[in-house]
Structure 1
């Protein structure tokens, strides 16, 4: 006798290309006037708990798809599964298809050791839309390794092969439903006798048409060790096809067949097991029961797919970053973003909060302005000042339905898709590039005139329109109080710092330098005419008065007699202020000699002559 060591394999492959016992969790939702159906067939000729002939599988099998003409295909998936390490290339109606993903799971049989089983998945939406209603023939699945090279599969009667097509379709006569597909690959057996899936974030408005379905392999009618499916702790059954204690028994609920050997393609009505107002549904799959001798008997079941259809109406808030703009020389970022209510079954209310985080630190908050309809959106803009404590390169997170502490106020279909992440690097504040100072001669009172454009030969720029001049760095950043005539700039202090801004594509460069007033050698005339005609009436030494403020001027006649002593406040107007008899009198025409004490350590005393004429 062959040992009977059966287990059930529930299959659906969506995620990682290769996985070993992956926890079942929500993978995908479809929200709209949607429903689903499935077709498929086994490649087993008999249940594999009969005689040895069960080890042979069929080269092909077929199933008929019959969609209503006004049903629009939303998505379609081809699944195939079997014992062994897997065959990723198969045919449907003679057309080759390769697996998008493959899952493997191992079972350590106490007699035959480690045995592997597989399932594959590929998206055939476009193909099914083009082909439509037809008889679909599945072929070219090779599991020969399980029949010839490893006697364990036939020995413990777990060789199997089969296929199925799932179709999600739209029917405008349906209510707005939520279809949930759960995926993974997990084992329940005598050690772990149940798997519980909690479906949250729902709002049941009507229970009409509610259903749960699954695709399972390795089910047969003769093993019924407490195999059950429960919704909200209510035991489900679908008699006479699926009794409550034998959920996995080789049946196809869509066709009413009980010859889906070593597989199950079942769906259950659950209208009476959920209630209007429910906001969660608990799904439980079990195996195992104790016989009259106290012995625990259980099948080994590998779970991978559960599908629910519920009339649940909730919004689903998501957000995107459309673009952002950086302000040069500031830490401001302007974010253009859009709030969406896609794939939803209810309006997203106005005032749904939106939080903005920089490297996890809350930096701004906003909210939706209007109610957003199903599949609608709302675009906004916000300018955020990034604190100095945040680095120039940071991660921006926009989280919709977040009050700023990670908590939301709106119950959604999917609470896990509210965040958008964007990496941002601020434009660094430019550093000033130093230039050599400019000096100009004092024209009085420590002031001078400077041609600031002399510095252009030392900087890089495209056009003169890119250049502007400022007296403070703040004015440069704010582009205020520009020096309008840089060719004739008069300083207000000495030294005084000047800034040049050069605008570039994204920001600007800027330069700084100092202007300084210096004393230059005075220009002394050789003649003056103090005749009060308003022209050349005094000894006007250019570059002396109010420049060398501490100077002293001495005038001598031809015999060496001091006749005048002046300073910054007393220039010589041709009269004498020294001597016993000539003070206050005009000096006669003639040549006079001067000694000019500049009292500046940078200059020596100056001597010379001047001719006075009338």
Structure 2
């Protein structure tokens, strides 16, 4: 008793919770090209169901597919339905079929549940082609005792086939599915159902048609002597196809493909809708009303003649160099799901972080199914962060009329390549070894130029070599700069990118070192008066040597040899005697305005 009460309250909840009418009919798939569609299928009801009749339902039935010569199957979808919570494992030509999608709905007037199911049987139908198809092991007989009191015990199956034929005009076939139902209200009032189908894009209404896979319709209404009707309208205009589908009983167990009128409790109906839609329509409203019958709409299919392009765009790659805001974008503009070519000159806009950074246009007419590739350099403005969204829009602001106007853009998340942030390096100063030559040790900069322990640091003599990562300086601790100032370039390789920085090598004139002992004995040691760091450093220097009486015995400059103990331009013998001498050195350098002087000792 408790379980029945729970079931009762569960049904009440479903009736009033807003889930009463199952899954809304919505666009499932579109086909663009020389396509059309057809139906085949069959009921499992041996007769029209009425109160407590029949007391059993078949578990298998068959139907034939007969496509015309030259037609090529694109897709085949199997739908099946019945009373009760559902049988979702069946067979098709002895092949096991387990539902890929399921649907359910509840009859408002009774609270009874009904089901439908879907399976993509394209491979099976392509393999077997025009033949007889049999659905078996679809069994709802255990549900009949609960459903025959209001004559809603039924089961059936249908196949939607979308096919291609080169003799067809260019069409758009839209497939919508779900499960929506209508019946009289709990108080017996007229039940109504409105379904809006979108993505129509009506360009030419000639040859347009609509198809329905519907369940549980009855041929026995309106009852004789009553005005009870079941109506189907599109955009407010009543649809009919008498005598097969009269205006007052649209869903009456018929098959528009074969003309059969014994498709008990299911309908495969196709209507010409040329007079129900207008050029420019993007949607249509399907209106159903019933004063007696219970009807479930499972699938709606439209076919419209439409010769239009459909521009789409994809980004294949977006890359830039390290620490650069210039990136190369590789992208493609396509015209895949189209029924006409996309003309040359269709505009293309490129955005970074919502800012327009580049434009382009298609160079050639892009035929149906083709694409055009682009390789374009763009610069990312400084105000855009390194992480941004790259967006490309084709046909903005809509100069080309297309099948779909809402699929013209694509985006890609892009991160500009940035290397480690370098620390500031001080310039290095060494003593001038002559003609601005200097010896330097900058090996410590390998550890101080970056705080990233995962980075690799190398030193280079040019920016080009640093950028390329070639010819690193082999010994930064003992580097001889033959001319200064000289720039040393530092390359810091991080996990993703590299950074470069630089510092200067400069020299200064250091105080010269005087070796004040001269032994002119030919042993190669101290044979001349040598002053280290003088020649080629203080190129304007002058030096004077005096004996103990203050007489000048020698003078020289950057262009004379070092003093070897002989008197030059002086007084007396050419050979200076052993003894103590006095020197005065004028460096003639603004850093050393005072002369250097001292004693030197000469011996032979």
Instruction: Flag whether TM exceeds 0.5 (same fold).
Output: yes
d(CA) in 2 for partners of 1:490 and 1:298? Answer: 105
CA positional deviation for 1:399: 2.3
| 1:489 maps to 2:481 | yes
Q: Indicate which of 277, 282, 306 corresponds to 1:312.
A: 306
CA positional deviation for 1:127: 0.8
Q: Indicate which of 423, 429, 432 corresponds to 2:422.
A: 432
Q: Which position in structure 2 is the counterpart of 1:173? A: 167
Please show how residues 71-470 of structure 1 align to structure 2 within 5 Å. Answer: 71-109=71-109, 112-113=110-111, 115-144=112-141, 146-147=143-144, 151=146, 153-187=147-181, 190=190, 193-204=193-204, 207=206, 209-223=207-221, 225-273=228-276, 278-280=279-281, 283-288=284-289, 297=291, 301-402=295-396, 407-432=397-422, 440-443=430-433, 447-450=436-439, 468-470=460-462
Contact 1:217 1:264 in 2 (8 A): yes
CA positional deviation for 1:514: 4.8
CA positional deviation for 1:567: 13
d(CA) in 2 for partners of 1:612 and 1:245? Answer: 140
Change (3 A) 1:256 1:358: same
CA positional deviation for 1:168: 1.1
- Kindly provide the CA deviation profile for residues 416-470 of structure 1, in whole angstroms up to 9, marking residues without a partner as x: 332333232221144336779755322368x333468978998999999x97423
CA positional deviation for 1:557: 4.0
Q: Which deviates more, 504-513 or 547-556?
A: 547-556
Contact 1:232 1:274 in 2 (8 A): yes
Contact 1:188 1:195 in 2 (8 A): no
CA positional deviation for 1:282: 5.1
Q: Which deviates more, 500-509 or 221-230?
A: 500-509
| 1:609 maps to 2:600 | yes
Change (3 A) 1:256 1:380: same
Contact 1:327 1:427 in 2 (8 A): yes
Q: Which deviates more, 454-463 or 119-128?
A: 454-463
CA positional deviation for 1:238: 0.7
- Kindly provide the CA deviation profile for residues 221-275 of structure 1, in whole angstroms up to 9, marking residues without a partner as x: 2345553333454322111010112211111111212221111111112345456
CA positional deviation for 1:52: 0.8
Q: Which position in structure 2 is the counterpart of 1:59? A: 59
CA positional deviation for 1:321: 2.3
d(CA) in 2 for partners of 1:33 and 1:337? Answer: 28
Unaligned runs of 5+ in 2: 1-18, 184-189, 223-227, 520-525, 564-568
d(CA) in 2 for partners of 1:547 and 1:307? Answer: 95
- State the SS of the aligned residue for 1:128: helix
d(CA) in 2 for partners of 1:281 and 1:191? Answer: 27
CA positional deviation for 1:345: 1.0
Q: CA RMSD in A?
A: 4.7
d(CA) in 2 for partners of 1:556 and 1:450? Answer: 35
What is the TM-score of this pair, normalised by structure 1? 0.75
CA positional deviation for 1:501: 3.4
CA positional deviation for 1:40: 0.5
Change (3 A) 1:155 1:33: same
What is the TM-score of this pair, normalised by structure 2? 0.76
Change (3 A) 1:176 1:41: same
d(CA) in 1 for partners of 2:518 and 2:314? Answer: 83
- Kindly provide the CA deviation profile for residues 172-196 of structure 1, in whole angstroms up to 9, marking residues without a partner as x: 2222222111233345565754333
Q: Which position in structure 2 is the counterpart of 1:9? A: none
Contact 2:55 2:144 in 1 (8 A): yes
- State the SS of the aligned residue for 1:163: strand
CA positional deviation for 1:315: 0.7
d(CA) in 1 for partners of 2:57 and 2:409? Answer: 49
Contact 2:541 2:558 in 1 (8 A): no
CA positional deviation for 1:100: 1.7
d(CA) in 2 for partners of 1:261 and 1:191? Answer: 22
CA positional deviation for 1:162: 0.9
- State the SS of the aligned residue for 1:68: coil
d(CA) in 1 for partners of 2:409 and 2:313? Answer: 7
d(CA) in 2 for partners of 1:102 and 1:414? Answer: 29
CA positional deviation for 1:95: 0.9
Q: Which deviates more, 449-458 or 340-349?
A: 449-458
Change (3 A) 1:441 1:265: same
d(CA) in 2 for partners of 1:138 and 1:29? Answer: 27
Contact 2:437 2:480 in 1 (8 A): no
d(CA) in 2 for partners of 1:47 and 1:71? Answer: 35
Change (3 A) 1:218 1:326: same
- State the SS of the aligned residue for 2:96: strand
Q: Which position in structure 2 is the counterpart of 1:32? A: 33
Aligned residue pair count: 549
Change (3 A) 1:81 1:469: farther
d(CA) in 2 for partners of 1:467 and 1:546? Answer: 29
CA positional deviation for 1:385: 1.7
CA positional deviation for 1:401: 1.8
d(CA) in 2 for partners of 1:232 and 1:242? Answer: 18
d(CA) in 2 for partners of 1:135 and 1:119? Answer: 22
Change (3 A) 1:586 1:77: farther
d(CA) in 2 for partners of 1:75 and 1:329? Answer: 50
- State the SS of the aligned residue for 1:212: strand
d(CA) in 2 for partners of 1:268 and 1:462? Answer: 71
Q: Indicate which of 522, 535, 539 corresponds to 2:512.
A: 522
CA positional deviation for 1:169: 1.3
